[in-house]
Structure 1
Amino acid sequence: MRRVRSIMTIKAILFDHDGTTVDSEQAHFEMWRDVLREYGVVLSHEEYTNQYAGIPTTSNAVTIVENQMINATPAQLVQAKAEATNQYLSEQAFPLMDGAFDSARYFYERGYQIGIVTGAGREGVDVTLKEHGFDKYVSVVVSGDDVTNSKPAPDCYLLAAERLGVEPSECLALEDTYNGSLAAIGAGIKCVGVSASSRVRGLFTGTIYECANLNEATEWISESVLA
């Protein structure tokens, strides 16, 4: 077990949203699948997982137009995906990942500031905060709406640290994708990679720890970083 306490003074824990805090990837896949079906494109779950999961909608739209050569602009795909997402969120919140609520509460009750940093739009986070009771723990939310360059650029994490009034080196991020981890690490923030997929865990580079779920992550951080 890696111990990194000697080089870290942590004041804030920053959670990614989709795939880390909420189990939204299946819903996002189904929404993209339905959007692309209108253009005669059959999107497989494997293709979505390998190429589009964890990537902001705007970036995915550009890649899809280039890869599929469909008769649509990236802006049109972004609009269609936004409408599908809004419809979903008007009816329900994304379900929480196992251990998400307990993890946020655990760190909050021990005096750490909590943030949510997402490359996606703000609406999904707002629904999570309201419907799952996260609002009592979260001090700051930074979304792709707040920055010019979303993940894997570091801008969203730098902004979160600034809004919390802490240095990036005083933050610890939890991310479920390689691109998300690049954003945190690029901002000078230590990152724990959290994914149920061994393939994804194998992609992480520069993370201080990799594990399968937030329960494991919380235990490791408590024992090896904050203890």
Structure 2
Amino acid sequence: MPLRAILFDHDGTLVNSEPIHFDLWVTVLSRYGISLTEQQYKEHYAGVPTNANAIDVVRRFQIDVTPEAIAEEKNAATREFLRGNSFPLMNGALDAIMDFRERGLTLGIVTGAGFEGVDATLRANDLGSVFSAVVSGDDVSLSKPAPDCYLLAMKKLGVQASECVAIEDTQHGLKAAHAAGIRCLAVPTPMSMHHDFGDALAVLDGMPNVIEYVRHSLLR
């Protein structure tokens, strides 16, 4: 079936948010005497929803607090950041959005994180009218790597998996798309380049290459 929809991940794909999330986790964990390194963040936490990260940090560092409590600390820190800021767009992200839109493709955002970050991105870049559906981790019981968010996005857009391509930067996101039956283009970042992208349709270096791949390989 012809390609009808592009489903973008948010953090690490549309916006360069992972360094900021790392800094926020560093701040939260420092309250418990934990010094989180960038290497630890890359190996265990990049691209993973906050609730899952909270479960891991409590277990890994043996912190005397519930995962729910530390997740709320991280969420509160993120909300505070987003009150006056938005995550910067990845290089080429805006070009990709506009190129795909001009080609008549339907666009969606599918994130395992909460809606606040996406909302800030859409408002800061005046993109609210560009995306036909936004699904966040707030909308489903199971976030990525479960397929629920992608299944919901397809339902909202009225498209089949064979008519979609997802764009993801992490193994967790790729697993979610793959489990939903959706082809996925992987665009690793320095935080995720060590992930396993074996199930990806292609592994590409940056959004400009995504534009070229879609143009020459998926829209012919």
Q: What's the TM-score bracket when you normalise by the shorter of the two chains?
A: over 0.9
* 1:196 Cα deviation after fit: 3.6
SS at match of 1:134: coil
CA RMSD of aligned residues (A): 1.3
Q: Note closer, same or farther for the CA distance 1:158–1:102 as it changes in structure 2 (3 Å cut).
A: same
Equivalent residue, structure 2, for 1:220: 213
Equivalent residue, structure 1, for 2:125: 132
Is the CA contact (8 Å cut-off) linking 1:29 and 1:45 kept in structure 2? yes
Equivalent residue, structure 1, for 2:73: 80
Does the alignment pair 1:93 with 2:86?
yes
- One-letter amino acid of the counterpart of residue 106, structure 2: Q
- What percentage of aligned pairs have identical amino acids? 46
Equivalent residue, structure 2, for 1:65: 58
Equivalent residue, structure 1, for 2:107: 114
Indicate which of 8, 11, 30 corresponds to 2:4: 11
Moved over 3 A (4+): 196-199
Equivalent residue, structure 2, for 1:142: 135
CA offsets, 1:61-116, max 9 Å, x none?
00111111011110111110011000100011000000111101111111110000
- Provide the C-alpha distance between the structure 2 equivalents of 1:36 and 1:48, rounded to a whole number of angstroms: 12
Unaligned runs of at least 5 residues, structure 1: 1-7
Indicate which of 28, 34, 44 corresponds to 2:27: 34
- TM-score computed with the length of structure 2 as normaliser: 0.97
Is the CA contact (8 Å cut-off) linking 1:61 and 1:75 kept in structure 2? yes
- Provide the C-alpha distance between the structure 1 equivalents of 2:198 and 2:162, rounded to a whole number of angstroms: 18
SS at match of 1:97: coil
Does the alignment pair 1:190 with 2:175?
no
Is the CA contact (8 Å cut-off) linking 1:194 and 1:201 kept in structure 2? no
Is the CA contact (8 Å cut-off) linking 2:8 and 2:14 kept in structure 1? yes
SS at match of 1:141: strand
Q: Note closer, same or farther for the CA distance 1:11–1:209 as it changes in structure 2 (3 Å cut).
A: same
- Provide the C-alpha distance between the structure 2 equivalents of 1:151 and 1:101, rounded to a whole number of angstroms: 24
State the aligned residue count: 220
- Provide the C-alpha distance between the structure 2 equivalents of 1:223 and 1:85, rounded to a whole number of angstroms: 38
CA offsets, 1:21-61, max 9 Å, x none?
00000000000000000011000011001100000000000
Equivalent residue, structure 2, for 1:102: 95
- Provide the C-alpha distance between the structure 2 equivalents of 1:123 and 1:109, rounded to a whole number of angstroms: 27
* 1:199 Cα deviation after fit: 6.7
Q: Note closer, same or farther for the CA distance 1:202–1:59 as it changes in structure 2 (3 Å cut).
A: closer
Is the CA contact (8 Å cut-off) linking 2:169 and 2:192 kept in structure 1? no
- One-letter amino acid of the counterpart of residue 211, structure 2: T
Q: Note closer, same or farther for the CA distance 1:132–1:185 as it changes in structure 2 (3 Å cut).
A: same
- TM-score computed with the length of structure 1 as normaliser: 0.94
Is the CA contact (8 Å cut-off) linking 2:42 and 2:191 kept in structure 1? no
- Provide the C-alpha distance between the structure 2 equivalents of 1:155 and 1:172, rounded to a whole number of angstroms: 16
Name the structure where helix makes up a greater proportion of residues.
1
- One-letter amino acid of the counterpart of residue 124, structure 1: G
Indicate which of 151, 162, 174 corresponds to 2:155: 162
SS at match of 2:7: strand
- Provide the C-alpha distance between the structure 1 equivalents of 2:194 and 2:217, rounded to a whole number of angstroms: 19
